[in-house]
Structure 1
């Protein structure tokens, strides 16, 4: 008998996140037997920042790999303790040359708890997006830990070509990595006949899609890329 996967085409999955993360997700989805369609709904752009705002030798905090990449473009500093939100951001920080990387459990609240459990010396600098996913500085400040935020990059909507968007919307599965991408996707699906199964990195990513006529919505218990891909694999 011919194996099921040998006679059926690989199901397509639309990856909506921005590069370079999109390409990494696509490679992992392909390894799971899916046909990845990379069509980012957002792209990241650097913001004008006075490099002096990044000076100092206190601890750094990053809540995304994009934050790490933006920081290293602006500052030569690679020393001191670095706190990161999860595995992907930790990998980006180590690849950039930071030797002392402390990894959180996948979200801002857990990262704040990790910092407060072993308070570092000095003010924590959160190198962040213009619209961060959570209020890390506020959480630390409420516990008496000095912290400040500097926005290094922003996300903006992309303008996919109509044929590319039509093909992406025909995918039976869609992955969403941020609440903003979820809002953008909700607007596109609201006027389409497609009924995909949408999986988000967290429930917050999927909140804008609730109420739409879809095949389903699901998010992993932890906001980790590996857990999201395991969820995708379970639909194969």
Structure 2
């Protein structure tokens, strides 16, 4: 049975491991990153909409703010589901990448006021730059991803959900006789060409596509 290293932070790592088990893989949960909350003012004035690029951003913001009435725009469906689970009433998903979220905000976000984007201290992309001159966006760091220093386990394939995890993995290489499955081209680029891993990229920026790129588990003889 193929051993698949799950590198993402908890609680997402456990969710991914459960899906891998159901598909017939042997998950090895050893997160390269840990999510830590950051003190922040979650309710600045003039905000007319919220934008989330990850479930971690939703969880961290919702734990600090009672705001649930503002319209919410998310990068993908899993993040949208998390927002609904926290009680947000108006949620729209771009079902794609950061550029898709930017285009949805440009088309649908209120033109007056400010779009608040709670997220990571070191975001993977620059949402305000994508919307410059179209929509006012303020990034609000509500969590940081900190490397755990975990030693690489024995694995046949490794899942990479973020560029930050890919850089952490690269620092522990090179590896041999294994593959890396990246969520996007930018994640694959962060891993570089010297990891020693066979690199595959998901067809779409979501975990279902990531697991499809992993392929079918090898069955015992």
Per the normalisation by structure 2, the TM-score is: 0.91
Unmatched runs of 5 consecutive residues or more in structure 2: none
2:31 counterpart of 1:40: yes
User: Is 2:211 the partner of 1:211?
Assistant: no
1:226 aligned partner: 208
Over residues 58-93 of structure 1, what are the superposed CA-to-partner deviations in whole Å (9 max), with x where a residue is unaligned?
110000000000001110111121000001101110
The DSSP-based 3-state class of the residue aligned with 2:72 is strand
Q: Which residue of 2 aligns with 1:110?
A: 100
2:49 is aligned to 59
Matched, 1:128 2:112: no
Distance 1:115 1:57 in 2: 14
Which residue is equivalent to 1:199?
Answer: 181
Aligned to 1:95: 85
Establish whether residue 157 from structure 1 lines up as the match of residue 139 from structure 2: no
Q: Which residue of structure 2 lines up, in the alignment, with residue 76 of structure 1?
A: 66
Q: In 2, distance between residues paired with 1:222 and 1:33?
A: 22
**5+ residue gaps in structure 1?**
1-9
Instruction: Quote the Cα distance in structure 2 between the aligned partners of 1:79 and 1:17.
Output: 30
SS of the residue corresponding to residue 67 of structure 1 reads: helix
Cα distance in 2 between the residues matched to 1:125 and 1:232:
35
- Alignment of 1:184 onto 2:175: no
**2:85 and 2:75 mapped to 1: Cα distance?**
16
Question: SS of the counterpart of 2:166?
Answer: helix
Aligned Cα RMSD in Å? Answer: 1.7
- Contact preservation (8 Å) 1:85, 1:107: yes
Note the C-alpha offset of 1:189: 1.5
Contact 2:6–2:29 (8 Å) recurs in 1: yes
In the alignment, the residues of structure 2 paired with residue 13 and residue 30 of structure 1 have an alpha-carbon distance, to the nearest angstrom, of: 10
Aligned positions, number: 217
Q: Is the 8 A contact 1:32 1:233 kept in 2?
A: no
Corresponding residue SS for 1:26 = helix
Instruction: Indicate if the aligned counterparts of 1:15 and 1:38 stay in contact, CA closer than 8 A.
Output: yes
Cα distance in 2 for partners of 1:215, 1:144 equals: 41
Q: Which is higher, the Rg of structure 1 or of structure 2?
A: 1
Partner of 1:24: 15
